[in-house]
Amino acid sequence: MDENKKTILLVDDDADYLFQMKLQIEKFGFNVITADGQKEGEELLETTKPDLAIYDLMMENDDSGFILSYKTKKKYPDVPIIIATAVAAETGIAFGLQSESEKQWIKADLFLEKGIRADQLHREIVKLLKI
C-alpha cells in the first residue's frame, strides 16, 4: 500500500459492485480497503482510520450504512462518509441531508445513488477530502 496515497474504506455486501468500485477508486489514485458487510467494516475500523469511507446503506440490516456511519463518526469525527445506495430506486424512499434534523441523525456527509458516473464520484471524493 502506498503511504502517500489517501485510503478509502469501501463497504458493500454486493461482491461485484465492491470489486468494480475498488478498481474504479484505485484508478483515481487512492488506496482502497474493502469489507463485505457491516460487521467486517466495524472490525476494520477498530484498527484502521480511513481518509474517507463509502458505505452501502442496506447490508446485513436495512440501516447498516447508517450504523457504520454513526460508529465511524464517533471514533473518527473528521472522516468524511459517503453513503452509496440504490434504496430510492428499490423502494421509492429518498434520503437526503437537506434539513438540520436529517443531518443530526444521518451521520453521513453525502448520499449518492448507485450507478453514479465515475467522473462524478471522483469529483465528490476530491471535494470531501479537500484535495
Residue 107 lies in a domain: no
The percent helix, strand, coil of the chain (3-state, each to 5) is 45, 20, 35
Residue 95: inside a domain: no
Q: What's the whole-number mean pLDDT along residues 105-112?
A: 76
- Tell me whether residue 96 is in a domain: no
In a domain, 75, yes or no: yes
Q: Which domain holds residue 5?
A: 1-84+117-131
Q: What DSSP assignment string belongs to 74-131? A: HH-TT--EEEEE-HHHHHS------SHHHHHH---SEEEETT--HHHHHHHHHHHHT-
Assigned domain for 101 exists: no
What is this structure's pTM? 0.86
Look at residue 55 and tell me if it is in a domain: yes
Q: Count of domains in the chain?
A: 1
Q: What percent of the chain has pLDDT over 90?
A: 63
Answer yes or no: is 89 within a domain. no
Confidence of residue 26 (pLDDT cuts 50, 70, 90): very high
CATH number for 22: 3.40.50.2300
At residue 91, the pLDDT reads 47
Query: Who wins on pLDDT, 49 or 98?
Result: 49
Mean pLDDT of 26-39: 96
User: Does residue 91 form part of some domain?
Assistant: no
